[in-house]
Amino acid sequence: MRSAREAHPKDRLLRTASRLFYAEGIHAVGVDRLVSEAAVTRATFYRHFPGKDDLVAAYLKTASEAIREAIGRAREDKTPREALIAVMSVIGDATCADDFRGCQFINAAAEYPDSDHPVRAVIDDHRTWFLGVLRDLAAELGHPDPDHAARVLVLLRDGALQGGELDDPAVVRETLHRAVEDLIPH
Amino acid sequence: MRSAREAHPKDRLLRTASRLFYAEGIHAVGVDRLVSEAAVTRATFYRHFPGKDDLVAAYLKTASEAIREAIGRAREDKTPREALIAVMSVIGDATCADDFRGCQFINAAAEYPDSDHPVRAVIDDHRTWFLGVLRDLAAELGHPDPDHAARVLVLLRDGALQGGELDDPAVVRETLHRAVEDLIPH
DNA sequence: CACTAGAAAGACCGATCGTTCTCCCTAGTG
DNA sequence: CACTAGGGAGAACGATCGGTCTTTCTAGTG
């Protein structure tokens, strides 16, 4: 029986891809490197994924699911105001993580300029979902214009995730926190 | 004599590189493609640039200079408040351009994960300059915390440039405009 | 005029890209 | 036991990667 630590080849591929794509970029990581670090053969790779782009899409879908869970947990047992601050704090905290390298979706979009590409669809899904979360929270806490508030929060989110990589993450987190508190009614 | 329209090979290379790198991504455009579209030979390429990365750096420096000029013009003959709104409008308007494909520097950073890379230095320079512009304007306009205000404006800038590519540019421009007006004292 | 710098044209380099292939072996199922 | 699905190992595909080379030609300078 296969031990729990060394997962199935498909899982190892996905984990390795997530790590390498995020840390080094997508085009910069070749299939050779992927199969080598995942300890999987090329044949096995193409048995599970039709092509590299499908692995990229799977990587982003996995990232999206993880974020949805984290955001979901942050909302639990909180008033709308607390929940919104907690949700945006998830963003700010993420920028301060050791292995933070920007937003997976923004980084991926930079490497997939064609907006009709399947990878871009995964990105759009994630962004649409997050905007919806923010709009709902803004509405629940009685913001006079929840749609606008949500869109401003998305601007702050994108900016924070970018600034977390290119500027000082701790300063970015603090800036984001203050901006969020100023945005929502007291 | 060389006509004015067909510029020197170095200029043609830089123009072609700017167009292709921005539209399609940096790693996605090879040297073959560059010299072919610039109507320049490989030998000429390497006579003017030590390597592809140097052309990338030149591309970003050129973009930075163009932006500095545009921002400089937007500030002319205006009160601090008008100037700051005009500067941020340059950002919002850019997202609505036909060939808009996000922020050159953010996109490039996604493809250069190593923060010690020379290309990242060009990016850092540009960001530091823009933060300074915003800080100065916020101070001139009497904002109680110009440094914080400038950092929030940078978040909004980064978010707008990203949203302009991934979301609806017209909505992003409007959202940015309202957010800026709400941020600065009336 | 002779000289030279720079560009054109294109062959060439080893390495790597994403992808497909064959062959063999082993673990799980009936 | 026999059978099979799936993984390991690795060769091979054409294409492209960034970069170097030689050769020829032309425009500008003295």
pLDDT for the residue numbered A7: 75
Per the domain annotation, does B90 fall within a domain?
A: yes
Shared domain for A44 and A60, answered yes or no, is no
CA dihedral B70, B71, B74, B77 (to 10 degrees): -120
Determine the average pLDDT of the residues in B100-113.
98
Q: What is the mean pLDDT of chain A?
A: 95
Shared domain for A162 and A175, answered yes or no, is yes
pLDDT at residue A4 greater than cutoff 50: no
Summarize pLDDT for B25-79 with one digit per residue, the tens: 999 999 999 999 999 999 999 999 999 999 999 999 999 999 999 999 999 999 9
Shared domain for B43 and B63, answered yes or no, is no
Shared domain for B75 and B165, answered yes or no, is yes
Shared domain for A147 and A87, answered yes or no, is yes
pLDDT for the residue numbered B19: 97
Q: Any idea which residue has 């400089």 for tokens?
A: B72
Per the domain annotation, does A34 fall within a domain?
A: yes
Residue A46's φ and ψ, nearest 5 degrees, are -75, -5
Per the domain annotation, does A37 fall within a domain?
A: yes
Shared domain for A69 and A16, answered yes or no, is no
pLDDT for the residue numbered A186: 79
Per the domain annotation, does A103 fall within a domain?
A: yes
Shared domain for B105 and B27, answered yes or no, is no
pLDDT for the residue numbered A1: 39
Determine the average pLDDT of the residues in A157-176.
98
For chain B, list residues whose CB is within 8 angstroms of any CB belonging to chain A: 23-25, 27-28, 101-102, 105-107, 109-111, 113, 123-124, 127, 148, 151-152, 154-160, 162-163, 165-167, 171-172, 175-176, 178-179
d(C-alpha B12, C-alpha B110), whole Å: 26
CA dihedral A92, A94, A100, A105 (to 10 degrees): -90
Among candidates B88, B102, B185, which has minimal Cα distance to A112? B102
Give me the CATH number covering residue A12: 1.10.10.60
Among candidates B66, B61, B57, B55, which has minimal Cα distance to B10? B55
Shared domain for A16 and A84, answered yes or no, is no
Summarize pLDDT for A99-145 with one digit per residue, the tens: 999 999 999 999 999 999 999 999 999 999 999 999 999 999 999 99
pLDDT at residue B4 greater than cutoff 80: no
Shared domain for B44 and B110, answered yes or no, is no
**Contact predicate A78/A140, CB 8 Å:** no
pLDDT for the residue numbered A78: 97
pLDDT for the residue numbered A6: 63
Among candidates B51, B66, B72, B135, which has minimal Cα distance to B104? B66
Per the domain annotation, does B134 fall within a domain?
A: yes
The residue segments making up the domain with residue A32 are 7-49
Contacts of B127 in chain A (CB under 8 A): 166-167
Give me the CATH number covering residue A96: 1.10.357.10
Shared domain for B85 and B156, answered yes or no, is yes
Per the domain annotation, does A1 fall within a domain?
A: no
**Contact predicate B52/B58, CB 8 Å:** no
Per the domain annotation, does B54 fall within a domain?
A: no
Per the CB < 8 Å rule, is B155 touching A160?
yes
pLDDT for the residue numbered B185: 82
Nucleotides of D under 7 A from a protein CB: 6-12, 16-23, 27-28
Per the CB < 8 Å rule, is A110 touching B102?
yes
pLDDT for the residue numbered A2: 43
Based on the structure, what is the number of domains in chain B?
A: 2
Q: How far A63 CA lies from chain B's nearest CA (Å)?
A: 17
Determine the average pLDDT of the residues in B99-113.
97
Shared domain for B128 and B151, answered yes or no, is yes
Summarize pLDDT for B130-177 with one digit per residue, the tens: 999 999 999 999 999 999 999 999 999 999 999 999 999 999 999 999
pLDDT at residue A74 greater than cutoff 60: yes
Per the domain annotation, does B100 fall within a domain?
A: yes
pLDDT for the residue numbered B2: 42
pLDDT for the residue numbered A57: 98
Residues comprising chain A, all counted: 186
Shared domain for B44 and B134, answered yes or no, is no
Determine the average pLDDT of the residues in A27-33.
97
